[in-house]
Chain A
Amino acid sequence: MIKSDAQRERTAAQIEGFRQALAKVDREMTGKRAATVRGSYEGMIRQLEEELREYGDLKSGELTFPDVERLDQIAPFVAKMRIAKGVSQTELARRLGVSKQVVSRYEETEYQTVAISRLQEILDAIGIKTLVRLKA
């Protein structure tokens, strides 16, 4: 998943790299080898393009907020919510009073290492309201 504009640029460059590699496959490979390597590169391009599209959708605020049944299901959505709210990693770090590297590390692990109290602080900093209902 793309989590920042810098990653978006790197992903776009990767796509270009695979396109150039595809051209090289056409020039230098033949037969089953060419078809197989071509298939893998085309698959990679498609996946990377999907990631770009997802990031673009999130940046434009298109995100359906999930109803979750377990608190640990919230974590994977935090980065998406941050992007959809237009908050960069740098800005979130500023609001939390930590370095950008800390936020980057949180997101590399999809917030799985973050305690619930910290997760609430992060959601507050992003501007996400939470509604928790417990049932016996």
Chain B
Amino acid sequence: MTAFWTAGIEDIFIDGSFCSEKPDPGDVDEYWVEPDDGVYDRVDPYWIDFEMVLVPQVRKWKWRMWADHGVEFFIHPAYAGKT
């Protein structure tokens, strides 16, 4: 989360199986709210890398962050609605 806080992102919402009753949750779905349109120059590029990689264990194409950490951080471009 530090990568997001230091980039000025204040709102992060968590969803996915970690928010369910599933005893052995598989992954975390989260989204962060765009604070301004300059955030893409501040946030660690790793977390805005949306290239797909093939994950052999599940035989699916996923984002690298999911392949490495089992998390998906989506973007909610709320700022777009304010301009």
Binding site for B on A (CB under 8 A): 24, 28-29, 32-33, 36-37, 39-40, 42-44, 46-47, 50, 105, 108-110, 112-113
Contacts and interface: CB of A to CB of B under 8 A. Distances in A.
A40 B60 CA distance: 16
A83 to B, nearest CB: 17
Nearest to A33: B37
Given A33-B37, A39-B50, A109 B74 contact: no
B80 A43 contact: no
Contacts, number: 49
Contacts of A24: 80
A32 B22 CA distance: 37
Query: Which 7 A/B pairs are nearest by Cβ-Cβ distance?
Result: A39-B50, A109-B22, A43-B50, A32-B40, A40-B50, A33-B37, A36-B48
Nearest to B23: A112
A46 B61 contact: yes
Interface in B33-63: 37, 40-41, 48, 50-52, 60-63
